[in-house]
């Protein structure tokens, strides 16, 4: 089980991270390592692209939550694109979707 993480600079302080493969307990640490530093860029913008993500389990959700909280702390706008209907459902049930929406409206402050 492998993932490949593509990081692309879209402009000053704007990054897109695309994940290909399955995010689970074995690959989640790699995603965390790739994602978290980018959430610490003050007033930055970070987009997580899940278009090529085939499967993700609860540990992947944990990484996204950690990224969301860190982004809020650093006023970094964090968004997730390319969710499959199944992932979207998981986000909706757990309330992560609400948190993401808030992160968009308030320009990063997920806890506002």
Partner 1 sequence: MGTMEDEPHLAVYRDLLARYVAQDSEATEESERLSELFHERGVSPDDLVAMHLDALKQIAVNPDRVTLRSIDFLMKMMSGYGHDYREHQELKSRQKQLDTEIDVAAEVQKALLEGKVPSCPFADIGAVSVPAKKMSGDYYRIVNDGKRLAVTIADIVGKGIPAAMCMSMIKYAMDSIPENNQGAPSSILANLNRVVERNVDPSMFITMFYGVYDPETHIFSNSSAGHEPGFYYSKRENRFVDLEARGLSLGLAPESKYKEYARRIEPGDMIFLLTDGVTEIRKDHDFIEREQIVEIIREVMHMPAARLVRHVMYELKKMQKYSFDDDFTFIAMKF
Name the residue nearer to partner 1 (CB basis): 18 or 67. Answer: 67
CB 48, CB 17: distance < 8 Å: yes
Exactly one of 22, 66, 74, 82 binds partner 1 (CB under 8 A); which one? 66
Name the pairing type of β-strands 14-23 and 3-11. antiparallel
Of residues 33, 93, 56, the one with CA closest to residue 17? 33
Q: Rounded to whole angstroms, how far apart are CA atoms 66 and 73?
A: 11
Window contacting partner 1 (CB under 8 A); options: 9-17, 41-49, 55-63, 74-82: 55-63
Stretch that binds partner 1, among 4-12, 14-22, 43-51, 88-96 (CB under 8 A): 88-96
Do the beta carbons of residue 6 and residue 20 sit within 8 Å?
A: yes
The residues binding partner 1 (CB under 8 A) are: 25, 32, 57-59, 61-63, 65-66, 69-70, 86, 90, 93-96, 98-99, 110-111
């Amino acid at each position: 089980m492998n993932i490949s993480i593509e990081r692309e600079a879209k402009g000053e302080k704007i990054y897109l991270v695309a994940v290909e493969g399955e995010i689970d307990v074995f690959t989640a640490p790699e995603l965390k390592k790739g994602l978290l530093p980018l959430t610490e860029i003050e007033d930055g913008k970070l987009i997580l692209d899940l278009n090529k993500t085939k499967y993700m389990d609860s540990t992947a959700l944990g990484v996204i939550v950690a990224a969301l909280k860190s982004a809020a702390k650093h006023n970094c706008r964090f968004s997730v694109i390319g969710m499959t209907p199944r992932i979207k459902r998981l986000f909706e049930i757990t309330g992560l979707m609400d948190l993401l929406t808030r992160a968009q409206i308030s320009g990063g402050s997920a806890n506002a």
